[in-house]
Structure 1
Amino acid sequence: MSDFAGMEELLQDFLTESSELLADVDNKLVELEKRPGDTNLLNDIFRGFHTIKGGAGFLNVASLVSLCHRTENLFDKLRNNELQLSVQLMDVIS
């Protein structure tokens, strides 16, 4: 039996929304390479992962919640100038 029995419609909605958010994040990462100090891009990317984390939490997908939380932490450090964006870091992110 599936972990999502009875929640198939919610799961499909989550997958659709997450796919759209990740496509948007991907585009913003390309822009971030051109404008590494753009705080609006950093905030938008952070929010994309935050939204996915919320949906994953609602669906009780702990591994995705953990991954998104770690990604949020990384982008929070970038937003707060605790970490600087570098070519090596972008390679890891991408």
Structure 2
Amino acid sequence: MEIYKMSIRELTIVEASQVSGAGNSNPNYYRDAGETLIALGEIAKQYALSDPQYFGMDYRVITATDPGLRQEAIRVVNILCGGKGGEKNVDSWIKLYS
């Protein structure tokens, strides 16, 4: 699986918890990161319903373009993907879903 084709919708909590990491001893670390990514998508969905700037936009595009959501999404994807690929992955959401 190429990490740059992953989307928030495709990443479930179970899948996120199964991502192996570089020696993190906390078993909930990746599960928490996955839950955070899913929560960012839920926040973006609310933006699409209520904020005129984002009205009707796909939640992944909102996550990738809103400054606060974007930085957090990049951080979380980096956690899930071994420390790299977050920015490239988040940028791909703009291309795929806009």
TM-score computed with the length of structure 2 as normaliser: 0.47
Specify which structure has the bigger relative contact order, considering alpha-carbon pairs within 8 angstroms and separated by 6 or more residues: 2
TM-score computed with the length of structure 1 as normaliser: 0.49
Q: Which is richer in helix?
A: 1
